Structure 1
Amino acid sequence: MFDRITVLLPADGLLFHTLTGTETLSRPFVLTAELLATDARIDRHALLGKPVTFTLPTDGLMNALSPRYLNGKITRIAVRSQELSGTRYAVYQLTVEPDLWPMQRDRNLRIFQSQTVPQIVQTLLKEYAVNVETRLAGNYRVWEYCVQYQESSLDFISRLMELEGIYYFFSHEADKHTLVLCDAPDQHQAFPGYETIAYHVTPSGGVVTEEGISQWSLAESVTPGIYSTDDYDFRKPNAWMLQARQNPASPVPGSVDVYDWPGHFVDHSHGESYARIRQEVWQAEHHSVSGSGTATGIAPGFTFSIINAPHFSDNGEYLVTSATYDFAENSYASGDTGDSRHNIHFTVLPSSVTYRTPPETRWPKTHGPQTAKVVGPKGESIWTDRYGRVKVKFHWDRLAKGDDTSSCWVRVSSAWAGQGFGGVQIPRVNDEVVVDFINGDPDRPLIIGRVYNEASMPPWALPAAATQMGFLSRSKDGTAETANALRFEDKAGEEHLWIQAQKNMDTHVKNDESHSVGGERSHYVAKNELNRVEGNQIQAVKGGTEILTGLSKVDAVVEQYVLASGSQLRLVSGESAIELNANGTINLIGKDFNFFVENDGHITTGGKLNLNTSGAKPGTSAPGAGHKGDIDAAVKEKFTPGKENKAGAIASAPADASQNAGAAANSQAPSFSGFGADVDNMVEKSPTMKQDITTLKKRGWVFKEGAAGKGTFADRQSRTITVDKSNMNDAAKVVQSLSHESGHALYKPDINVTSRETYLNSALSDEGAATLNNIRVQREIIANQGGDIGIAGNAANQKGYNGIYDSLSKGNISESEARTQIGRIFGKGEKTSTTNQLYEDYYGGWYDKNYPTK
């Protein structure tokens, strides 16, 4: 009846003996073949991973055009010795699997974004060189974010296809096999020549003389009555997402309810589709038809129509869902062709019933939180959306670019999240955040915290500042010196609250405000101050009050103005004074006086009126001609540097109770830079230079004049910037020196002594930072019409320096790259002001001396 089964292998001398195994819809097949050879020395290793094809002759029930093929890859080889009919054979046992076999054995973590399940499946199949035919007819949702998480690639695509109702089978050819994706009953055809297969009864003890079906068995089983699934989408928090679907095949619909949560969907229609697919799984399981036969055209994924079925109602078309093969050719050993065995045990489903793969593949779960780095587009330090979500790069993600394409938008937990109220703290690019996953689902990350690391340290030095807690923000794209702050110091005896606004501060009290200070209070305003009171204002001072004004002071009232003193009231100005005493005496003193009235004038006295009385003495005194200078000095004394409180505001010096404004000591206004008014005026035109000096002063740096000819330099250890005395007569030179050395002082080079080259690069980057700062200050001063301070160093190098600075300004290179490029030019073209060596030789000599063996 049957012709011999043959095998095609990339090796000679092997004869087919047996073939067993199972093919099932949506499962990789596993076949086991035994081949015979008289030579046990065949190179087994050379066969691993190679293709093999088994050719099964067809009987041609309906004029079959070609034989049936089973093609796959050899994934295991074993050999044993066996004696058959007096001949010793080497029996080679081959395990044969589809091209999917590497996808069963790998393990990966990978993110897919904005793709449908068919797109994800085909991407992975293509990467593993699996031949694919797509017959899908359904419309599939786009998954915003889908993660393969610590699972094989096959498990990953299997669970997705099970959820979406996609299944597959293999179509075998002489030299390959193809994975066919399906989602509907009409996507299957009969194996050519086996459109109809007859059922016949095998005679007791006899054999069948033609291909057909010899056993046919039907069974029905109880399946659940209703399937329910639900989920939640934060973008539609009040949406009703629950989906329920009854199983009409259940004998007691609704009595057994299977409820799944979460359902892996965020759209109502997707949940409806998933519920329908689960219902179709049960419908397929409800009717179980199995059988066996010899028709080699019975293959999973193909249909056939049975005729002459045991029950007339069973005649009809069926889809083969699984086939278990048992083939043998024993004539090599016995010489008897009757020993051949060609049996196929199978399961089928009426072709009108939609097949769905049971959801058996496990969905991965995360095991606790993990950390990730916040990312965003190039040049952005804060990247968020309307929900305050951010993008992250997981440490395990090998394919991520580290930009805004690295993940989906991830929600951020907040200490308080209300309806238009609560707390907001957006994690910034490069922050390390703690990520957990809702219900352990890797597709649903949630940021629950933030942590420091070696690259992102706490704002206050620990453990020294362990008693301090609070918040220190950072101006967008700013530095450590540009921040808003709220800090609490809880060290016993030194408790302190520090508040800083980097620019503006607005406080709005909708009703009453009470302000109480137990000790002293200092108030400093660098520019103007405006106080407005809609009602009345009362100021009460138990002690004295002193008001010093550097220019003019105007008091103006619409109605009555009263100046009252319980003892004495004096108005003084230079050589003049008016004094009103509580005893009724009024004294005036001055050089001249003039009374002028438009109309009548009256002088009335109860006693005598004496004019030009001989020997009379003044009843009071005037401050004298130096009075204005004394007041000016007293005002300036209140703004003397060095009298700053911990919050950075200038505090007034304590007043001496015996001293009045007229006795204040003369003093000169201090220089901001420490190098005089001309330098200060130029510094004022550069925001960078002004901020640098302020920052360095806060850090304890000192600016001083050095000896002539000894050079200009910054000493980080002593926190001193020394300017060569020979530059002191040129304000532009001084500012140039300050801008360059401040660049050194504010930059912290990462010195790398691994090799001479790495050391030179890291050391010269310090010079690059200083030169960049010099150019930045120079351009700011020029832009504000303040003159040109120039660039420190060799004029021949300045074109190169400016070109690099321009590239940095345009965003073509990073700050780090700019420092390195300028540093290399600096090293080869500039000399030190102290040793007159090229900087490359200066730094290189130090390295050679300290690391002679490297």
Structure 2
Amino acid sequence: MPHYDLPKFKTLTYIKTRTSPDDGKGFNELRFEDKAGKEQVFIRSQKRYDLRARGSMYETCGGNRQEVIGVRSDNQPGGNLAVTVGGNYDLHIKDSHFVGIDGKLNESVKGDVVEDYQANLSTIVGAKTELNAREITLEALTKISLKVGGNCIMIDPSGITIAGTITKINSGGFAAGTGNPAFDDALDAEPADTGEPGYLDRPRSGGGGGRRRRNLRSQHYIAPPRPGEDPRITAMRGTLANSEQGRHALEVYDRYGVSSSFRPGEGSTFDPGDNNMNINPAQTPDRQALGFVHEMNHAEEHHEGTSGDIENQTRDEYVDAMVDEESEGVVRSIEARDELIESGHESAAETSYPLQDEYHTAYDQGVADARAANPNISDADAAAAGRAAGRQRVEDGFRNGEVETSNSGESYPDYYGNAWDGAHPAGGGTP
């Protein structure tokens, strides 16, 4: 290599080697600058830099330390950092600690976690917070407050205060359960070169691709069987426990005390008159379980007072309400089927529902559109956009006559329109 210009760089001592074959750009360098006030040790690697200590390594920096990983000319994220510690990892910061993450944060701890905050703790979440545990205990010295708008519940040493525009007990819908979020496991770091010739030509792992993604499994309470419960219903509890829609259907079944039967030749139905669900005994267990989900949608609409009212609604109001109810029941069965398959209950894939493929196509497009509109959207929000698109597609299909009833072959708008007409014969007046 040519020397640096002399006498301009007379205080430099260096070893500098060119890339072979020489491309005129690549080089490795070890350089010492000994000029007073400008002292520096400079190490440059054209491609890879390995440092290996057989024993302990100690590093003391008397001033500031700056580290940049993955420099790209377009200022986009580039390189990765992987650290593997065989023993303990201790970090003591004597002033403040600032962390900024532009992407996601995944933390997995196999042992206990203890956090000690000796002052205030403030947490702001821009979307939704979910906490799932076997048991949760909250204790405050002076007060616990739960507040949404002008409604609140306050607990203090003097008692419990509930303030709300309307207070509902055993009515007003169901709370959503926690989901099963996707989790990306950490990668182990790749060890440094051992110094053996040809080491870098061998296959290696760690510090690069191959990250494992898995879905965490939330814990959910499932009510025990009722006294004298049909074993087929008890078996459905075990199946539907693996599905969010299935768990919701079980909550409806138990909250409203719906009875069940397996009468042949009647299909799967819900009769609001005697609060009974009939399941077709000729169907497979998976089909019966998913039919359970569908019929409990009808039960929920009835008990919550949102089902169509053939006596007191206009024809259009009644048809709209019932078509919405039917399409929602199919959507819930489709989603329960997908959730069971995802949880490992593969036999659920043998069942199918009207507009199932259309739902999935709309779901995928909804997710793609949401990510295109917001590249930083969370997986949960993207999935919610997909479900909304799929649900709308199924509802549209029911409204435009793509789906026919199994008993009469009519479209659902015609079926419920004719039912309303039968309840309001000509000259009988309208509500």
In proportion to residue count, which structure has more helix? 2
TM range (shorter): 0.3 to 0.5
Q: What TM-score do you get using the length of structure 1 for normalisation?
A: 0.23
Q: What TM-score do you get using the length of structure 2 for normalisation?
A: 0.42
